[in-house]
């Protein structure tokens, strides 16, 4: 069962003037194509405890897979409660040092990037040089309602320092077993953040591929730039969700300008939306062509993002410096940044004591060193200055 978003499809199409009919058809056909793909289901394991091969095969073929019902109601409620608390503490407006209660705002004294804002329904990255120009085209920017605020929060970087619930989700044992199946037992962190797409306000993220450093590597393969998990708190739809071009993670860097020119519009004909219910988690190759349109619909989306790399993709490599200063990532650097995995495993163990915790191979002899507490949570401040982006 997927959410009925017919009202949002109508509302979205109405923004596009003479293209309204084409937009409506694109959304409806995209939705049907997405639901027909054989890349969704429960995260299953075989008798030996290995991730079901059909999941790995479908992920490899399409570059994304929808893992259904991974996050329990209880876990989702924890995330929503944290989110509410964080939002109460967001800067009162873009650039404010305090929240609406006059308290120091979340992230106000952080050195690392935290909350990012954009004009409602805009495409802040498309056609710019930000992130090494990977968002090559500017998407259509629908007009927001007259009473919309001038700027809305769109992305919270370094989310694990602000939300114990997100930290616990980061150590979800089934997800980490999948990370291990794809990236090996010594997998390493990438980056973590929340994509916030409020109904009628959320900004677009133009078509792009995430990888930066390894496109011309002699060892290039479909997994070299890692993947993102995207946990869906409210679900994700053709109107508010990420769209992807299935299979495009295998073929190298795409010329998106040409693809849009050839398509005659920003509506890439081979793209499909990632459709999820609350609690589903998407695994998405960072190399897949993906993006999301402005959220002109009535349903909000909140994606809890966190990714992992193969160790060989980052070890002694100079990072892309996407989220902080680029640096050569040696063993000690990776080990320090991976501490968040150890802490997350303990945080989860304390909250869900009946679950079998994930055993992270690099810390197998040291896991007892990692003890989550309120003080340990505070020690994560600015942890994302250690940037493993590639």
Ligand X SMILES: O=C(O)CCC(=O)C(=O)O
Q: Which residues lie near ligand X (CB under 6 A)?
A: 195, 205, 210, 228, 242, 290, 292, 303, 305
Q: 20-36 and 6-14 helices cross at what angle (nearest 10)?
A: 140
**Residue 380, beta-bridge partner list:** none
Rounded to the nearest whole angstrom, what is the least distance from the CB of residue 295 to ligand X in the complex? 9
Q: Helical H runs in 171-301? A: 173-183, 256-263
Looking at the Cβ atoms of 5 and 205, the one nearer to ligand X is 205
Is 208:130 a contact under the CB 8 Å cutoff?
Answer: no
Is 39:66 a contact under the CB 8 Å cutoff?
Answer: yes
Rounded to the nearest whole angstrom, what is the least distance from the CB of residue 64 to ligand X in the complex? 11
- Convert 3-20 to b/e letters by CB count within 10 Å (16 or more is b): bebeebbebbbebbeeee
Three-state DSSP class for residue 133? helix
Looking at the Cβ atoms of 5 and 105, the one nearer to ligand X is 5
Rounded to the nearest whole angstrom, what is the least distance from the CB of residue 205 to ligand X in the complex? 4
Rounded to the nearest whole angstrom, what is the least distance from the CB of residue 375 to ligand X in the complex? 31
Looking at the Cβ atoms of 190 and 372, the one nearer to ligand X is 190
Q: Kindly state the tokens that stand for 235.
A: 């679900």
Looking at the Cβ atoms of 16 and 195, the one nearer to ligand X is 195
Rounded to the nearest whole angstrom, what is the least distance from the CB of residue 242 to ligand X in the complex? 5
Looking at the Cβ atoms of 91 and 273, the one nearer to ligand X is 273
Rounded to the nearest whole angstrom, what is the least distance from the CB of residue 344 to ligand X in the complex? 19
| Residues in Cβ contact with 83 at an 8 Å cutoff, skipping those fewer than 6 apart | 163, 194, 233, 302
Location of structure tokens 């993102």: 228
Looking at the Cβ atoms of 202 and 362, the one nearer to ligand X is 202
Kindly list the distances between the CA atom of residue 325 and the CA atoms of 135, 385, 386, in Å, as whole numbers in the listed order.
Answer: 20, 8, 8
- The Cα 215–Cα 378 span in angstroms is 37
**If we measure between CA atoms, which residue out of 84, 276, 116, 277 comes closest to residue 202?**
116
Rounded to the nearest whole angstrom, what is the least distance from the CB of residue 159 to ligand X in the complex? 12
Looking at the Cβ atoms of 228 and 313, the one nearer to ligand X is 228
Kindly list the distances between the CA atom of residue 20 and the CA atoms of 13, 23, 139, 244, 337, in Å, as whole numbers in the listed order.
Answer: 4, 5, 15, 21, 47
CA 41 vs. chain centroid, Å, equals 19
Rounded to the nearest whole angstrom, what is the least distance from the CB of residue 305 to ligand X in the complex? 5
Q: How many residues does the chain have?
A: 390
Looking at the Cβ atoms of 139 and 242, the one nearer to ligand X is 242
- The Cα 155–Cα 74 span in angstroms is 24
- Distance between first and last Cα of the chain: 37
Pairing of strands 64-68, 281-285: antiparallel
Looking at the Cβ atoms of 78 and 210, the one nearer to ligand X is 210
Looking at the Cβ atoms of 278 and 357, the one nearer to ligand X is 278
SS3 annotation, 312-325: HHHCCCECCCCCCC
Rounded to the nearest whole angstrom, what is the least distance from the CB of residue 325 to ligand X in the complex? 20
Rounded to the nearest whole angstrom, what is the least distance from the CB of residue 210 to ligand X in the complex? 5
């Amino acid at each position: 069962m997927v959410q009925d978003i017919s009202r949002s499809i109508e509302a979205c199409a109405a923004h596009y003037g003479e293209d309204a009919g084409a937009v409506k058809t694109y959304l409806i056909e995209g939705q049907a194509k997405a639901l027909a793909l054989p890349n969704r289901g429960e995260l299953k394991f075989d008798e030996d405890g290995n991730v079901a091969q059909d999941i790995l095969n479908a992920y490899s073929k399409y570059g994304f897979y929808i893992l259904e019902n991974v996050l329990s109601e209880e876990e989702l409620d924890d995330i929503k409660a944290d989110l509410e608390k964080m939002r109460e503490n967001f800067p009162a407006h873009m650039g404010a040092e305090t929240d609406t209660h006059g308290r120091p705002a979340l992230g106000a004294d952080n050195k690392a990037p935290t909350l990012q804002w954009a004009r409602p329904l805009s495409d802040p990255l498309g056609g710019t040089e930000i992130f090494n120009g990977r968002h090559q085209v500017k998407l259509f920017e629908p007009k927001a309602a007259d009473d919309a605020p001038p700027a809305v929060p769109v992305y919270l970087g370094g989310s694990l320092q602000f939300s114990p619930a997100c930290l616990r989700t980061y150590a979800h044992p089934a997800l980490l077993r999948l990370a291990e199946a794809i990236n090996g037992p010594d997998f390493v962190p990438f980056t973590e953040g929340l994509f916030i797409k409020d109904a009628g306000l959320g900004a677009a993220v133009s078509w792009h591929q995430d990888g930066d450093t390894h496109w011309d590597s002699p060892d290039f393969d479909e997994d070299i730039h890692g993947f993102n998990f995207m946990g869906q708190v409210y679900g994700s739809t053709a109107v508010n969700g990420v769209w992807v071009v299935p299979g495009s993670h295998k073929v190298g860097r795409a010329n998106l300008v040409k693809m849009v020119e050839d398509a005659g519009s920003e509506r890439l004909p081979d793209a499909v939306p990632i459709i999820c219910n609350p609690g589903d988690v998407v695994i998405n190759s960072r190399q897949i062509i993906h993006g999301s349109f402005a959220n002109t619909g009535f349903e909000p989306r909140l994606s809890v993002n966190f990714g992992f790399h193969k160790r060989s993709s980052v070890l002694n490599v100079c990072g892309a410096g996407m989220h902080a200063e680029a640096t050569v990532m040696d063993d000690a650097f990776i080990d320090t940044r991976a501490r968040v995995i150890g802490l997350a495993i303990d945080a989860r163990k304390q909250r869900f004591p009946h679950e079998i915790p994930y055993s992270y191979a690099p810390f197998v002899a040291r896991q007892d060193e990692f003890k989550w507490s309120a003080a340990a949570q505070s020690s994560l401040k600015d942890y994302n200055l250690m940037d493993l982006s590639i």
